[in-house]
Structure 1
Amino acid sequence: MPDRPVHVDKFGGTSVATPERVRRVVEIVAGGVGEGPRGEGAGRRVVVTSAFGGVTDRLLDAVEAAVGRTGAHREILAALRARHADALAALAPESERDALGRALDTLFVELGELLYGMYLLRECTPRFRDAIVSAGERAAVPLVAAAFRAAGHAAVALDATAFVRTDDAFGEAAPDLPETRRLARAALAAVPADAVAVVTGFVGSTADGVTTTLGRSGSDYTATLLAGALDAAACVIWTDVDGVLSADPRVVPEAFPLEHLSYAEAAELAHFGAKVLHPRTMRPLVRAGIPLQIKNTLRPEAPGTRVGPAPPGAEPSIRAVTAIRGAALVRVEGAAVLDVADLGRRVLAPLADGGVPVSLVAQASAEGSFGLAVREADADAAVRLLSRALAREVERGDVFGVRAEGGGAVVAAVGSGMHGATGLAGRFFHTLARAHVPVRAVAQGGGDHTISAVVADADAARAVGALHEAFALRRLRAHVVVVGAGALGRRVLALLGAESERLRAGGLHLVLAGVADSRRLAWEPDGLHPAQALDALAAAPPAPGVLDALTDRLAAARLERLVVVDATPSADVAARHAAWLAGGAAVVTPNKEAAGRSAAAWGEVQRAARDAEAPYLYEAAVGAGLGVVARLRDLVRTGDRVLRVEGVLSGTLAFVMNRMRDGAAFSAAVAAARDAGLTEPDVRDDLSGRDAARKLALLAREVGLDVAAADVAVEGLAPPALADVPLAAFWDRLPEADADWQDRPAPPRPPASGAEISAPDDAPGRGGELQYVARLDADGSIRAGVEAVAPGSPFAGLQGAEIAVAVWTERGGPRPLVLRGPGASADVTAAVVLADVVRAAEAMR
């Protein structure tokens, strides 16, 4: 063997599916793309190739047709011969075409004879099957080598049956590593130093020269066998993806290529179903520490995944999530099953001898059972083998029996440092619980790289998605349902769409699962785009009882971290809060009708939230973005006693009062509030004072008083004569009330107290001004009405729709806690609602 380093590249069937792809292979190898240099003098080049894409499957179809005596094997063989003839014409130098054509003719004649023998015998032995399916590689390799020569690069085609020595386990042959090493080194030594050695993947031969195959991913195995035998500097497996992905992209569209994996991590991923690698692929590389790289033929510039020794000092982590679908859980059960001598060997040995692979073993002394996950197709055989092996124990009653539960999947999280990492296993199972995925059996590998669980196959995709989100992407996923498509609901959707990417970058993925109004429900658990949600809602069929339908959907959805946003002013929707909370959904709302319900109903909602550990957040119901509810709640929870609460709680009424203070007539001030979008559709709802009453009742409940909005003594501002007229007539006649406000004497200020705040000499409102103030007094009395606020009051000098709240507490003494800021415009309320959605999702971590 020359001293120059060897670089091994393997190309799969999709990489050589067409002549254009084969030419791309030549460019990649000759151009030095991938691991290590490929230029003149850089090293020896070995290229392992699979059969052209789809050929192996067609050969298996030909075997089935021959055994079934359908005669279709002849057409299949003719089509394959024509395909290779086309490739020969496209790839080979003209001077070589005749010789290569004759070699292909010989190969396909032999195939025809083998298939005809099967046709006559109606039987295909494993040995004959290997002889036929290996023909795809033996046909492709001479053409790939010819493509190198046509591009001006020396190349030699090598049949691996000459140097990959195996046993006679046809279909899954095991290589003889020492003999393969000796023969492979001799074979490469005979290749000119400047020539590319193009080798058949997947195939080998016994010591007697009988062709064998290496089983699934056999070409990858050929490449790593040769890399190990030749002490290669590196081995690159070229496929049609950008490397080993963090999850199956068909299940998790956000799966991403992993930059680096240790040999152990890669082997665990392969064992648990990752398609890019086979568990045995790494074995020939580990001892010598030869790096393996997975790259994409279609995107050779992508970095791919590098597999090698574990880096020192790596942080414990879960890197990827995968699943073995179509599994069965086989249980060996009995009161004394764990006392059966040498149970592990007696259970596993029969399965190994019977060719039944086991993907998970779970043993729990408390249950007196021994569980194994196997392929569902092997479940009956496993039960039969174990029942026979444990027949004496069954007869004695030590083992009650052996049974299999089908319809399962083994979900595995793969990483490193799991034994020393606090909380990884807890997060794994907590994540499955949040995703409503029941677990049938669990195991943490004897190594340091895997936590796995058996779940229902129907839950596998949800489990993988949830675990990938929690670990590989390191973020929370919450599902949001918006009820209400009015002005506020639309702004919430718009804000959700505008901020979703920023939130996702910060570790929170909000999925809009549904939107509802009073007549329709648009539901998509995988996610509606917020910008398209209203169109989807409009396209949904009208549904009577939409709230019932929504409640049923929420109960059946099994979505993780479900947050319902009630963006309505509806008492009917508020009445559903308790049921939604009891079902485990968080509820976020500015709907003041929730607080307006009876004390008993309010208590029911709060109990439902506590019992289900589901957040119930209504910060936007009072004080917009001031955080009034949270501040009051914190004071009470920390043992302080609230003595008094006063506030200008209605931004709409504050706007009206401030306009009148600045000289506007009452009717003009109300109209300006309407034009600014600050009022309800019927402005009399605002002028009634009920909004302030509901807010004050909610604050009273946070303090600990069992009151309702009906308990608040409210002064209304709408003229009584206009209470029942049509809305258009109301607006026409509203100027009739202007004179009453002009002639109205200023109401008395409340008695001065040490609680007031002195104002500077230039403070606005000196001399008194009118505001609509809600008060909760120390004696429990609550009222709301127009007052002349003192110059030093927190409520003097408010601007526009600005609001303010003052809270006196026992610990705070004579000076109140004052919160002051913009009133509840739809934009401000939407922002507070979104903030509460974020809080709810994080609280459900």
Structure 2
Amino acid sequence: MKVLKFGGSSVAKPERIRGIVDILKGYYTKGEKFTVVFSAFGGVTDSLIEMSTLAAKGDEAYQEHFEAFAARHTQAVHELLDGEYREAVLPELERNNEVLKNLLYGVFLVREASKRTMDYVLSFGERSSAFIISHVLRQSGINAAYLDARRIVKTDKSFGSARVDFKLTYQKIRAHYAQNPDVQVVTGFVASAKGGLTTTLGRGGSDYTAALIAAGLDASVIEIWTDVDGVLTADPRKVKRAFTIPTMTYAEAMEMSHFGAKVIYPPTLQPALLKKIPLYIKNTFNPDFIGTLISDHVDPEATAVKGISSISHVALLTLSGSGLFGVPGTAARLFSSLAAAGINIILITQGSSEHAISFAVQPSMANKARKRVEEAFEYEISMKIINPVKIEEDLSVVAIIGENMRYQPGISGRLFQALGKNGINAVAIAQGSSELNVSVVINRSDEAKALNALHESFFLSDTKELHLFMIGVGLIGSTLINQIRAQAGYLKETRGLEIKVVGMANSRKMLFEESGIDLEQWQDSLQEAATEMDPAIFIGKMKELNLSNTIFVDNTASSKVAAFYEDILDSSISISTPNKIAVSSGFVQYQRLKAIAAKRGVQFMYETNVGAGLPVISTLNDLIISGDRILRIEGVVSGSLSYIFNNFKPGMRFSEVVRKAQELGYTEPDPRIDLNGLDVRRKLIILARETGLPLEAEDVAISPVLPESCRQAATVESFFSELEAADTYFNALLQEAEANGKVLRMVGKLEGSSATIGLQQVGSDHPFYHLSGSDNMIVFTTERYKERPLVVRGPGAGAEVTAAGVFAEIITIGNYLG
């Protein structure tokens, strides 16, 4: 015998009921022996509660709800049944509706809906659905009969959540099924006390009905049919990549249900567990899918962690003080006071110092719990040897669950590493001696983020999902997006990285898509976005979404965006940026940003600040970390200036070379920013600070390249006019260098605490002599590289190399988060 149960979502609409008929016909034609338990139509129980509440308040609006209830079931009959079957059901349905109508009118008159009355009212949901469906099955050719569970499930008179009389119930079940060989279609949730009063079985009552029938008949299996593909590794509403757990033990299922898995409920499992009856959790809308099998079998080859679950809203109370240390019976007094008040404890943790006991309860019970505990320890609190109870609210409990965790070391380490790298603080920790679960109390706002981080760590360790928020989608930003799109398949296959651009903005609009913006048509999507760009709102939205593995990318040169770096890092979000402003401004601010990043355990990466895609900062840091001492750093670190002076040759006008560099996008819109050495100064400051020097902008000596008339020009065009007039000046500089067998290079130099920038003549014995195109070159002279300095050379300007540098940092951050 199989016992099948279909929930409210499975019978919410006539077309869904037809789908169930197809499922059951498949069983029936195969000769399977089964019985079926049905819940009320989806939403009906809530409707019955609402109409009863209104009636008890004296609100005549209850009648509208009743009429909708009656009409819904009548309509279902008309859509599902024909001829004699319809004629058999409608009169009985009308009689039941009349009884319910009179009952509600009675509630309306006395202005009261007791638990006893409510149990009777609620029974009309299951009784109506099962009665209709039993006739639908008969019409389809299945020899089915309606069974009101009040005839077989017997309870006490604890209305609302009655206690089952197992012995009598099992006797009734066996006796009824022995006399009725046809397929029994049973009302879930409802039962009756001795004397015939209607009772209900409480939350998960229809599942409980199925489990009771299965236990009474020693069924071979119970199938719980719902609207998901079994028990999932996590809540799919919070973890999009959750998937079905193929097998679980009873203990694992109990733990999952305790922590909020909605497809199962502990009382359902108890009768099955005692009789060791397997349970299948299956999907009504995907009936061919195998679902989840719950049994007493432990698979030693299964993953250590089976599922990750959570309780979304808890309050944590802490009793602490020296008066707890070494005092026998303290815990007993604490928990007895809570038990006497009917307060359920979700989680308990106590340190070995015995200085404090923390416990989690439902938030609605927090103040009551505090009052009862403080009453129990009134004397000790008055003597100040125990502190008043502390309450922490807006918390959640996240738990990893699995029978095999006890056999695999390092599980807790992976848990806390995943949380820590995403900036999630553990408020309290609890682990039972069975090692079946490890529970962590965290801030409620971090719940979804924690679930995703843990799910990725334990179930998707081969694939890591990075969430990018990008401001600046101009030349560098759009190139970066193209690179990400082009490399997506390769990164996923070979590096296990899946990069999703979740938010992007230009100077006018901003766009967010939590599941990832379509990078094939991002430009159209951003152009059509309704939200105007505001850096503060953009950063606020990024923090509000609170996604795991979040990386912020700033492709701008904006000081307004850079001003938010501190807030971003402090929110445990890593940064990759070619924007030089933040780390080249005040030294104190530079130190602060680095300190916040270290404190929060996130990455603050700005390699592209100095050499575009060249490994300049990383090379410098590697030298320092390995114990080398920096003696001197010389660099042609501006791609634009490198291009200008590499291409400034006899027969060419200097102004023409500068204008060409501007047209190619090598220079800033105003080339004076480059030619005045301001960009080089920023880069030199950054390199100096990486070596530990507290260099400020005023500490860098810049020898002007441009004549005063060029520097003071009012506009860019007037600058070019003045530059054309200065062509003879620059031609003289070039001729002088040539006469000396040398070339002109704009060089930044750091030696000791001295930092200088200026136009120099370099000979063929110097590495800078052979530079070409827009190449950058940085020469490190160190204790180890004294005779032959270490040279880093390559393209130092251009969207492709800069974007590639940012892309490399994104991947580095992703590997760190792993």
With normalisation by structure 1, the TM-score equals: 0.81
Q: Deviations over 1:449-474 (max 9, x none)?
A: 33334456566556556655655655
The match for 2:712 is 724
Tell me how far 1:300 sits from its aligned partner: 3.3
- 1:27 matched to which residue of 2? 22
Q: Note the aligned Cα RMSD (angstroms).
A: 4.5
- Equivalent pair of 1:329/1:408 in contact (CA under 8 Å): no
Quick check: 1:52 aligned with 2:46? no
Conserved? CA contact 1:265–1:414, under 8 Å: no
1:357 is the counterpart of 2:344: yes
Of residues 818, 825, 836 in structure 1, which corresponds to 2:791? 818
1:356 partner SS: coil
CA distance in 2, matches of 1:601, 1:125: 66
Quick check: 1:785 aligned with 2:775?
Answer: no
8 Å CA contact retained: 1:481, 1:564: yes
Q: Deviations over 1:501-560 (max 9, x none)?
A: 98788357667568586xx89697979958479659994377xxx78x999999999887
Shift, 1:644, TM fit: 4.1
1:267 maps to 254
Partner of 1:761 in structure 2? none
Q: 2:648 aligned with 1:648, yes or no?
A: no
Give the corresponding residue for 2:609. 621
Corresponding residue number in structure 1 for 2:401 = 415
- Partner Cα separation in structure 1 for residue 563 and residue 88 of structure 2: 84
Match for residue 294 of structure 1 among 281, 286, 293: 281
Larger mean Cα displacement after TM superposition, 165-174 or 213-222: 165-174
Cα drift, residue 805 of structure 1: 3.0
Q: In 2, are the aligned partners of 1:623 and 1:803 still within 8 Å (CA)?
A: yes
Give distance in 2, aligned partners of 1:157 and 1:498: 61
* Amino acid across the alignment from 2:256: L
Cα distance change on mapping 1:135 and 1:690 into 2, 3 Å: closer
Q: Is the 8 A contact 2:308 2:451 kept in 1?
A: no
Query: Where in structure 2 are there 5+ consecutive unaligned residues?
Result: none
Label 1:23 to 1:405 Cα distance change in 2 as closer, same or farther (>3 A).
same
CA distance in 2, matches of 1:779, 1:383: 61
Deviations 1:624-671 (A, max 9, x none): 222011111111221113344444322223323443459755444333
**1:10 match:** 5
The correspondence for 2:299, drawn from 311, 328, 335, is 311
Which 10-residue stretch deviates more, 344-353 or 81-90? 344-353
| Alignment map for 1:92-491 (pairs within 5 Å) | 92-112=81-101, 114-115=103-104, 118=107, 122-192=111-181, 195-206=182-193, 208-252=195-239, 255-308=242-295, 309-317=297-305, 319-325=307-313, 327-331=314-318, 335-337=322-324, 341-348=328-335, 351-352=338-339, 355-364=342-351, 366=353, 368-379=355-366, 382=369, 390=376, 405=391, 407-416=393-402, 417-419=404-406, 421-425=408-412, 428=415, 441-454=428-441, 460=447, 464=451, 467=454, 487-488=475-476, 491=479
Show the counterpart of 1:800.
773
CA 1:324–1:528 in 2, change beyond 3 Å: closer, same or farther? closer
Q: Residue 532 of structure 2 corresponds to which residue in structure 1?
A: 540
CA contact (8 A) 1:712 1:784 kept: no
Deviation of residue 393 (structure 1)?
6.7
Letter in 1 for 2:159: F
Deviations 1:84-126 (A, max 9, x none): 3332333234223333334334434444454455456554443
What are the within-5 Å matches in structure 2 for residues 508-523 of structure 1?
none
Partners of 1:142 and 1:483 in 2: how far apart? 60
Q: 2:75 aligns with which of 70, 73, 86?
A: 86
Match of 1:34?
none
| Matched position secondary structure for 2:346 | strand
| CA distance in 2: counterparts of 1:630 and 1:802, whole angstroms | 18
With over 3 angstroms needed to count, the CA separation of the structure-2 counterparts of 1:332 and 1:693, relative to structure 1, is closer
Q: CA deviation digits over 1:173-203, x for unaligned, max 9?
A: 23344544444344334444xx533221112
Q: Is the 8 A contact 2:641 2:674 kept in 1?
A: yes
Structure 1 residues 499, 399: closer, same or farther in 2, change over 3 A?
farther
Q: Is residue 2:666 matched to residue 1:678?
A: yes
**Quick one: distance in 1 between partners of 2:540 and 2:34?**
63
> What are the within-5 Å matches in structure 2 for residues 539-688 of structure 1?
539-540=531-532, 565-569=553-557, 587-593=575-581, 597=585, 615-660=603-648, 665-688=653-676
Q: Percent identity, aligned pairs only?
A: 36
Aligned mates of 2:49, 2:539 — CA distance in 1: 52
C-alpha deviation, 1:215, in angstroms: 0.9
Deviation at 1:219, TM superposition (A): 0.8
Deviation at 1:409, TM superposition (A): 4.3
**Per-residue Cα deviation, 1:287-328 (whole angstroms, up to 9, x for no partner):** 555432323323435554443333213332362232142x44
Residue 745 in structure 1 maps to residue 735 in structure 2: yes
SS at match of 1:22: helix
Q: Distance in 2 between matches of 1:198 and 1:558?
A: 47
Matches of 1:262 and 1:41, distance apart in 2: 29
Q: Provide the C-alpha distance between the structure 2 equivalents of 1:105 and 1:302, rounded to a whole number of angstroms.
A: 39
Give CA-to-partner distance per residue, 1:337-379, whole Å, 9 cap, x none: 4656545555545655654332222334646444433333444
Deviation at 1:67, TM superposition (A): 3.9
**How far apart, CA to CA, are the structure 2 residues paired with 1:600 and 1:53?**
61
CA contact (8 A) 1:166 1:207 kept: yes
CA distance change for structure 1 residues 198 and 586 in 2, over 3 Å: closer, same or farther?
closer
Aligned-partner Cα distance in 1 for 2:392–2:604: 40
Shift of 1:809: 3.1
CA distance in 1, matches of 2:618, 2:771: 23
Aligned equivalents of 2:693, 2:318: Cα separation in 1: 57
Of stretches 259-268 and 399-408 in structure 1, the one that deviates more from structure 2 is 399-408
Superposed, 1:698-717 pairs within 5 Å as 698-704=686-692, 707=695
- SS in structure 2 at match of 1:625: coil
Question: Partner residue of 2:496?
Answer: 506
CA contact (8 A) 2:505 2:533 kept: no
Give yes or no for contact 1:492–1:831 (8 Å, CA) kept in 2. yes
Q: Which residue of 2 aligns with 1:763?
A: none
Gaps of 5+ in 1: 1-5, 32-37, 751-766
Whether contact under 8 Å (2:323, 2:380) holds in the other structure is: no
The DSSP-based 3-state class of the residue aligned with 2:787 is coil
Indicate how the Cα distance of structure 1 residues 599 and 204 shifts in structure 2: closer, same or farther if over 3 A, else same: closer
Query: Which one is further off, 587-596 or 675-684?
Result: 587-596
Q: Quote how far apart the aligned CAs of 1:781 are.
A: 7.1
Shift of 1:423: 4.8
Taking structure 1 as reference, are residues 213 and 736 closer, same or farther at Cα in structure 2, changes over 3 Å only? same
CA contact (8 A) 1:323 1:464 kept: no
Kindly tell me: are residues 383 and 827 of structure 1, through their superposed partners in 2, closer, same or farther at Cα, counting changes over 3 Å? same
State the TM-score, normalizing by the size of structure 2.
0.83
- Structure 1 residues 418 and 526, CA, compared in 2 at 3 Å: closer, same or farther? same
Displacement of 1:391 in angstroms is 7.5
CA distance in 2, matches of 1:836, 1:118: 68
Q: Show CA shifts across 1:718-759 (max 9, x none).
A: 455533334224435655555666663362899xxxxxxxxx
* 1:615 and 1:840 in contact (8 A); partners too: yes
Shift of 1:493: 6.5
Quote the offset at 1:825 in angstroms: 1.0
Closer/same/farther in 2, CA of residues 685 and 154 from structure 1, 3 Å limit: same
Shift of 1:223: 1.9
Residues 595, 695 of structure 1: 8 Å contact kept: no
